[in-house]
Protein backbone atom coordinates (compact mmCIF):
# COMPACT_ATOMS: atom_id res chain seq x y z
CA UNK A 1 0.00 0.00 0.00
CA UNK A 2 1.29 3.47 -0.89
CA UNK A 3 2.98 5.91 1.49
CA UNK A 4 1.25 8.87 3.04
CA UNK A 5 -0.07 11.77 1.02
CA UNK A 6 -2.90 14.10 1.86
CA UNK A 7 -6.25 13.76 0.14
CA UNK A 8 -8.69 16.60 0.72
CA UNK A 9 -12.30 15.47 1.16
CA UNK A 10 -13.31 19.02 0.30
CA UNK A 11 -12.18 18.43 -3.26
CA UNK A 12 -14.17 15.26 -3.84
CA UNK A 13 -17.90 15.21 -4.46
CA UNK A 14 -18.53 18.17 -2.10
CA UNK A 15 -19.08 15.90 0.90
CA UNK A 16 -21.64 13.71 -0.89
CA UNK A 17 -22.55 10.43 0.78
CA UNK A 18 -20.79 7.36 -0.60
CA UNK A 19 -23.33 5.56 -2.83
CA UNK A 20 -21.15 2.51 -3.27
CA UNK A 21 -20.23 0.92 -6.59
CA UNK A 22 -20.36 -2.47 -8.30
CA UNK A 23 -18.06 -5.05 -6.74
CA UNK A 24 -14.69 -5.00 -8.55
CA UNK A 25 -13.08 -8.29 -7.65
CA UNK A 26 -9.90 -7.57 -9.60
CA UNK A 27 -9.26 -4.50 -7.43
CA UNK A 28 -9.93 -6.48 -4.26
CA UNK A 29 -7.66 -9.37 -5.26
CA UNK A 30 -4.75 -7.14 -6.21
CA UNK A 31 -4.54 -5.49 -2.77
CA UNK A 32 -1.30 -6.15 -0.92
CA UNK A 33 -0.05 -5.04 2.51
CA UNK A 34 3.63 -4.94 3.49
CA UNK A 35 3.48 -5.89 7.19
CA UNK A 36 7.06 -4.83 7.96
CA UNK A 37 6.58 -1.43 6.35
CA UNK A 38 3.26 -0.88 8.15
CA UNK A 39 4.77 -1.75 11.53
CA UNK A 40 7.81 0.44 10.87
CA UNK A 41 5.60 3.37 9.89
CA UNK A 42 3.27 3.12 12.88
CA UNK A 43 6.18 2.56 15.24
CA UNK A 44 7.51 6.04 14.44
CA UNK A 45 4.25 7.98 14.81
CA UNK A 46 4.91 8.84 18.43
CA UNK A 47 8.61 9.56 17.97
CA UNK A 48 8.63 11.70 14.83
CA UNK A 49 5.81 14.01 15.92
CA UNK A 50 5.00 15.57 19.29
CA UNK A 51 2.21 17.86 20.42
CA UNK A 52 2.89 19.86 23.58
CA UNK A 53 1.39 22.49 25.88
CA UNK A 54 -1.48 24.55 24.46
CA UNK A 55 -1.32 22.65 21.17
CA UNK A 56 -1.84 19.39 23.02
CA UNK A 57 -4.82 20.85 24.88
CA UNK A 58 -6.32 21.96 21.55
CA UNK A 59 -5.82 18.51 20.02
CA UNK A 60 -7.42 16.86 23.05
CA UNK A 61 -10.45 19.15 22.81
CA UNK A 62 -10.62 18.17 19.14
CA UNK A 63 -10.51 14.49 20.10
CA UNK A 64 -13.56 14.96 22.32
CA UNK A 65 -15.59 16.29 19.39
CA UNK A 66 -14.69 13.13 17.46
CA UNK A 67 -15.89 10.66 20.11
CA UNK A 68 -18.73 8.22 19.88
CA UNK A 69 -19.30 8.19 23.65
CA UNK A 70 -20.31 4.59 24.25
CA UNK A 71 -21.93 2.28 26.75
CA UNK A 72 -22.37 -1.33 25.63
CA UNK A 73 -22.52 -3.22 28.91
CA UNK A 74 -24.83 -6.03 29.87
CA UNK A 75 -26.05 -4.06 32.88
CA UNK A 76 -26.92 -0.87 30.97
CA UNK A 77 -29.98 0.94 32.25
CA UNK A 78 -31.92 3.95 31.01
CA UNK A 79 -30.59 5.93 33.97
CA UNK A 80 -27.00 5.17 32.95
CA UNK A 81 -27.75 6.18 29.37
CA UNK A 82 -29.26 9.48 30.54
CA UNK A 83 -26.13 10.19 32.61
CA UNK A 84 -23.95 9.37 29.61
CA UNK A 85 -25.98 11.75 27.44
CA UNK A 86 -25.60 14.52 30.03
CA UNK A 87 -21.83 13.97 29.83
CA UNK A 88 -22.05 14.04 26.03
CA UNK A 89 -23.68 17.47 26.20
CA UNK A 90 -21.09 18.80 28.67
CA UNK A 91 -18.01 16.55 28.30
CA UNK A 92 -15.59 18.92 30.07
CA UNK A 93 -16.17 20.85 33.28
CA UNK A 94 -17.15 24.46 32.67
CA UNK A 95 -14.36 25.86 34.82
CA UNK A 96 -11.78 24.04 32.71
CA UNK A 97 -13.33 25.26 29.47
CA UNK A 98 -13.35 28.83 30.78
CA UNK A 99 -9.69 28.54 31.74
CA UNK A 100 -8.95 27.26 28.22
CA UNK A 101 -10.84 30.16 26.67
CA UNK A 102 -13.58 27.95 25.19
CA UNK A 103 -17.19 29.20 25.10
CA UNK A 104 -19.76 27.02 26.82
CA UNK A 105 -21.62 24.62 24.54
CA UNK A 106 -18.98 24.49 21.80
CA UNK A 107 -17.28 21.26 22.85
CA UNK A 108 -19.55 18.22 22.61
CA UNK A 109 -19.05 14.65 21.48
CA UNK A 110 -19.64 13.36 17.97
CA UNK A 111 -22.36 10.87 18.92
CA UNK A 112 -23.65 8.61 21.69
CA UNK A 113 -23.51 4.88 20.92
CA UNK A 114 -25.84 2.41 22.68
CA UNK A 115 -27.65 -0.88 22.25
CA UNK A 116 -30.93 -0.85 20.32
CA UNK A 117 -33.00 -1.12 23.50
CA UNK A 118 -31.49 2.13 24.80
CA UNK A 119 -32.05 4.20 21.65
CA UNK A 120 -35.33 5.84 22.80
CA UNK A 121 -33.80 6.91 26.12
CA UNK A 122 -30.74 8.35 24.37
CA UNK A 123 -32.81 10.16 21.75
CA UNK A 124 -34.95 11.77 24.46
CA UNK A 125 -31.94 12.76 26.58
CA UNK A 126 -30.15 14.36 23.60
CA UNK A 127 -33.13 16.22 22.17
CA UNK A 128 -32.12 19.67 20.95
CA UNK A 129 -28.38 19.04 21.40
CA UNK A 130 -27.59 18.18 17.79
CA UNK A 131 -25.74 15.06 18.99
CA UNK A 132 -26.77 11.99 16.95
CA UNK A 133 -27.54 8.59 18.45
CA UNK A 134 -25.71 5.56 17.06
CA UNK A 135 -27.12 2.07 17.61
CA UNK A 136 -25.16 -1.18 17.39
CA UNK A 137 -27.24 -3.64 15.40
CA UNK A 138 -27.16 -6.90 13.40
CA UNK A 139 -26.60 -9.23 16.33
CA UNK A 140 -23.79 -7.23 17.94
CA UNK A 141 -21.09 -8.23 18.77
CA UNK A 142 -20.90 -11.56 16.90
CA UNK A 143 -23.21 -10.84 13.98
CA UNK A 144 -24.36 -14.44 13.66
CA UNK A 145 -28.10 -14.08 14.14
CA UNK A 146 -30.37 -14.85 11.15
CA UNK A 147 -30.26 -12.30 8.36
CA UNK A 148 -33.93 -11.33 8.63
CA UNK A 149 -33.48 -10.60 12.34
CA UNK A 150 -30.43 -8.42 11.67
CA UNK A 151 -32.30 -6.46 9.01
CA UNK A 152 -35.29 -6.05 11.33
CA UNK A 153 -33.05 -4.77 14.13
CA UNK A 154 -31.58 -2.09 11.86
CA UNK A 155 -35.03 -0.91 10.79
CA UNK A 156 -36.24 -0.88 14.39
CA UNK A 157 -33.26 1.23 15.52
CA UNK A 158 -33.82 3.72 12.71
CA UNK A 159 -37.54 3.90 13.53
CA UNK A 160 -36.63 4.58 17.19
CA UNK A 161 -34.58 7.61 16.18
CA UNK A 162 -31.03 6.36 15.59
CA UNK A 163 -29.18 8.50 13.03
CA UNK A 164 -26.26 6.08 12.70
CA UNK A 165 -26.13 2.28 12.69
CA UNK A 166 -23.00 0.34 13.60
CA UNK A 167 -23.38 -3.06 11.95
CA UNK A 168 -21.25 -6.18 12.35
CA UNK A 169 -20.09 -8.04 9.26
CA UNK A 170 -19.90 -11.81 9.08
CA UNK A 171 -16.24 -12.59 9.66
CA UNK A 172 -16.60 -15.96 7.93
CA UNK A 173 -17.16 -14.21 4.60
CA UNK A 174 -13.78 -12.48 4.98
CA UNK A 175 -11.88 -15.54 6.18
CA UNK A 176 -13.21 -17.59 3.24
CA UNK A 177 -12.54 -14.80 0.79
CA UNK A 178 -16.21 -14.77 -0.20
CA UNK A 179 -16.25 -11.12 -1.22
CA UNK A 180 -19.55 -11.35 -3.08
CA UNK A 181 -21.29 -12.57 0.08
CA UNK A 182 -19.75 -9.75 2.13
CA UNK A 183 -20.74 -7.19 -0.50
CA UNK A 184 -24.32 -8.46 -0.68
CA UNK A 185 -24.62 -8.48 3.12
CA UNK A 186 -23.39 -4.91 3.59
CA UNK A 187 -25.47 -3.73 0.64
CA UNK A 188 -28.59 -5.16 2.30
CA UNK A 189 -27.70 -3.50 5.59
CA UNK A 190 -27.14 -0.17 3.80
CA UNK A 191 -30.57 -0.42 2.19
CA UNK A 192 -32.18 -1.18 5.56
CA UNK A 193 -30.51 1.90 7.08
CA UNK A 194 -32.19 4.28 4.65
CA UNK A 195 -31.03 7.82 5.45
CA UNK A 196 -29.21 6.71 8.60
CA UNK A 197 -25.47 6.38 8.10
CA UNK A 198 -23.93 2.93 8.32
CA UNK A 199 -20.65 2.08 10.05
CA UNK A 200 -19.34 -1.37 9.15
CA UNK A 201 -17.52 -3.11 12.01
CA UNK A 202 -14.87 -5.51 10.69
CA UNK A 203 -13.74 -7.03 14.02
CA UNK A 204 -10.20 -6.78 12.69
CA UNK A 205 -8.70 -8.79 15.54
CA UNK A 206 -10.48 -11.84 14.13
CA UNK A 207 -9.49 -11.39 10.47
CA UNK A 208 -6.06 -13.10 10.75
CA UNK A 209 -4.00 -10.73 8.56
CA UNK A 210 -3.80 -7.11 7.43
CA UNK A 211 -4.48 -8.09 3.83
CA UNK A 212 -7.90 -9.35 4.92
CA UNK A 213 -8.47 -6.06 6.75
CA UNK A 214 -7.69 -4.06 3.61
CA UNK A 215 -9.86 -6.22 1.37
CA UNK A 216 -12.81 -6.25 3.77
CA UNK A 217 -12.59 -2.45 4.15
CA UNK A 218 -12.63 -1.99 0.39
CA UNK A 219 -15.57 -4.34 -0.17
CA UNK A 220 -17.60 -2.59 2.54
CA UNK A 221 -16.94 0.78 0.91
CA UNK A 222 -17.94 -0.63 -2.49
CA UNK A 223 -21.19 -1.77 -0.87
CA UNK A 224 -21.94 1.76 0.32
CA UNK A 225 -20.49 2.00 3.83
CA UNK A 226 -20.34 5.53 5.27
CA UNK A 227 -17.67 4.46 7.78
CA UNK A 228 -15.37 1.51 8.21
CA UNK A 229 -14.79 0.63 11.87
CA UNK A 230 -12.09 -1.56 13.39
CA UNK A 231 -13.76 -3.45 16.20
CA UNK A 232 -16.73 -4.14 18.42
CA UNK A 233 -14.56 -3.62 21.49
CA UNK A 234 -15.41 -7.16 22.57
CA UNK A 235 -12.59 -8.97 20.75
CA UNK A 236 -9.32 -9.92 22.43
CA UNK A 237 -7.48 -7.56 20.04
CA UNK A 238 -9.23 -4.35 19.04
CA UNK A 239 -8.00 -1.11 17.45
CA UNK A 240 -4.25 -1.13 16.71
CA UNK A 241 -2.22 1.41 14.78
CA UNK A 242 -1.12 -1.08 12.06
CA UNK A 243 -4.77 -1.91 11.43
CA UNK A 244 -5.61 1.79 11.46
CA UNK A 245 -2.90 2.62 8.94
CA UNK A 246 -4.08 -0.19 6.67
CA UNK A 247 -7.70 0.96 6.80
CA UNK A 248 -6.83 4.65 6.38
CA UNK A 249 -4.82 3.93 3.24
CA UNK A 250 -7.66 1.84 1.86
CA UNK A 251 -10.04 4.74 2.54
CA UNK A 252 -7.64 7.01 0.65
CA UNK A 253 -7.38 4.61 -2.29
CA UNK A 254 -11.18 4.44 -2.51
CA UNK A 255 -11.47 8.23 -2.44
CA UNK A 256 -8.88 8.61 -5.16
CA UNK A 257 -10.59 6.03 -7.38
CA UNK A 258 -14.24 7.03 -6.85
CA UNK A 259 -14.22 10.60 -5.57
CA UNK A 260 -16.18 9.69 -2.42
CA UNK A 261 -14.88 10.18 1.12
CA UNK A 262 -15.62 7.38 3.59
CA UNK A 263 -15.17 7.80 7.33
CA UNK A 264 -12.95 5.78 9.66
CA UNK A 265 -13.66 4.75 13.26
CA UNK A 266 -11.10 3.02 15.50
CA UNK A 267 -12.83 1.45 18.49
CA UNK A 268 -11.88 -0.74 21.42
CA UNK A 269 -8.91 -0.36 23.75
CA UNK A 270 -8.32 3.38 23.21
CA UNK A 271 -8.32 4.56 26.81
CA UNK A 272 -5.56 7.16 27.20
CA UNK A 273 -5.21 10.70 25.92
CA UNK A 274 -1.74 9.94 24.54
CA UNK A 275 -3.23 7.11 22.46
CA UNK A 276 -5.85 9.49 21.04
CA UNK A 277 -3.05 11.85 20.01
CA UNK A 278 -1.33 9.05 18.08
CA UNK A 279 -4.55 8.32 16.18
CA UNK A 280 -4.98 12.01 15.37
CA UNK A 281 -1.39 12.18 14.09
CA UNK A 282 -2.04 9.12 11.93
CA UNK A 283 -5.16 10.68 10.43
CA UNK A 284 -3.48 14.05 9.79
CA UNK A 285 -0.49 12.48 8.08
CA UNK A 286 -2.35 9.84 6.09
CA UNK A 287 -5.60 11.58 5.12
CA UNK A 288 -5.14 15.23 6.06
CA UNK A 289 -6.83 17.73 8.35
CA UNK A 290 -10.01 17.61 6.26
CA UNK A 291 -10.67 14.08 7.50
CA UNK A 292 -10.36 15.11 11.15
CA UNK A 293 -14.03 16.05 11.40
CA UNK A 294 -16.94 14.16 13.02
CA UNK A 295 -18.37 13.43 9.57
CA UNK A 296 -15.26 11.40 8.65
CA UNK A 297 -13.49 10.32 11.84
CA UNK A 298 -14.70 9.00 15.18
CA UNK A 299 -13.25 7.32 18.23
CA UNK A 300 -15.27 4.53 19.79
CA UNK A 301 -14.72 5.44 23.43
CA UNK A 302 -16.03 4.75 26.92
CA UNK A 303 -13.17 5.50 29.32
CA UNK A 304 -11.08 7.76 27.05
CA UNK A 305 -12.99 10.92 27.93
CA UNK A 306 -12.09 10.68 31.62
CA UNK A 307 -8.36 10.58 30.89
CA UNK A 308 -8.57 13.47 28.43
CA UNK A 309 -10.37 15.60 31.01
CA UNK A 310 -7.64 14.76 33.55
CA UNK A 311 -4.97 15.87 31.08
CA UNK A 312 -6.83 19.13 30.43
CA UNK A 313 -7.05 19.79 34.17
CA UNK A 314 -3.32 19.17 34.44
CA UNK A 315 -2.72 21.67 31.65
CA UNK A 316 -4.80 24.29 33.48
CA UNK A 317 -3.69 23.68 37.08
CA UNK A 318 -0.37 21.82 36.82
CA UNK A 319 -1.80 18.98 38.92
CA UNK A 320 -3.34 15.62 38.06
CA UNK A 321 -6.72 14.90 39.61
CA UNK A 322 -8.24 11.61 40.71
CA UNK A 323 -10.31 9.67 38.20
CA UNK A 324 -13.47 9.97 40.29
CA UNK A 325 -13.42 13.74 39.76
CA UNK A 326 -14.32 13.14 36.11
CA UNK A 327 -17.23 10.70 36.10
CA UNK A 328 -18.83 9.58 32.87
CA UNK A 329 -21.86 7.47 33.76
DSSP conformational letter for 83: H
State how far the Cα of 263 lies from the Cα of 18, in Å rounded to an integer: 10
Reply yes or no on whether 229 is catalytic. Answer: yes
Per-position DSSP letters for 200-255, written without gaps between them = EE--GGGSSSHHHHHHHHHHHHHTT-SEEE---S-SSS---HHHHHHHHHHHHHHH
Residue of 166, 215, 226, 307 marked catalytic: 166
Q: What is the pTM of this model?
A: 0.93
Reply yes or no on whether 199 is catalytic. Answer: no
Residue of 87, 108, 199, 265 marked catalytic: 265
Superfamily the domain 23-325 falls into: Aldolase class I (3.20.20.70)
Reply yes or no on whether 148 is catalytic. Answer: no
pLDDT digits (tens, 9 = 90+) for 4-50: 555 665 455 667 899 999 999 999 999 999 999 999 999 998 887 77
Q: Taking 90 as the threshold, does the pLDDT of residue 322 lie above it?
A: no
Domain coordinates in residue numbering, the chain? 23-325
pLDDT digits (tens, 9 = 90+) for 213-268: 999 999 999 999 999 999 999 999 999 999 999 999 999 999 999 999 999 999 99
pLDDT digits (tens, 9 = 90+) for 111-164: 999 999 999 999 999 999 999 999 999 999 999 999 999 999 999 999 999 999
pLDDT digits (tens, 9 = 90+) for 46-103: 887 778 899 999 999 999 999 999 999 999 999 999 999 999 999 999 999 999 999 8
Least Cα distance to 38 among 1, 81, 75 occurs for 1
Helices (H), 72-178: 78-89, 94-99, 119-125, 147-159, 171-176
Whole-number percent of the chain with pLDDT over 70:
95
Amino acid sequence: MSASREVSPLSIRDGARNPGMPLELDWVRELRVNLSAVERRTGTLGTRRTVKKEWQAAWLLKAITLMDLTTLAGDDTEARVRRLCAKARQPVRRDLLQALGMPDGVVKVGAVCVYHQMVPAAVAALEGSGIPVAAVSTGFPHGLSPMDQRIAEIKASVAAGAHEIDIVVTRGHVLRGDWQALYDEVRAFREACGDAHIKTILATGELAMLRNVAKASLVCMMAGADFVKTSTGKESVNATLPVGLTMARTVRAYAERTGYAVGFKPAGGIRLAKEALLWLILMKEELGIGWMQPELFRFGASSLLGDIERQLEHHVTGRYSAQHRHPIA
